[in-house]
Amino acid sequence: MGKVLTFLLVLAIVLFGLSFALLNPQPVTIDYYFGAREARLSLALVVALIIGVMLGILTASGVMLRQRSELGRLRRKNQRAHRELEELRRLPINENL
Number of domains in the chain: 1
pTM: predicted TM-score of the whole model, two decimal places: 0.58
65 lies in a domain?
A: yes
27 lies in a domain?
A: no
Rounded Cα distance, 35 and 54, in Å: 23
Provide the 10 A C-beta neighbour count for residue 42: 19
53 lies in a domain?
A: yes
Beta bridge partners of 40: 27
pLDDT in tens, 27-86: 888 888 888 889 888 888 888 888 999 999 999 998 999 999 999 999 999 999 999 999
97 lies in a domain?
A: no
pLDDT band at 92 (very low <50, low <70, confident <90, very high): confident
Domain that holds residue 62: 43-89
59 lies in a domain?
A: yes
52 lies in a domain?
A: yes
Across the chain, the runs of DSSP E, i.e. the strands, are 27-32, 35-40
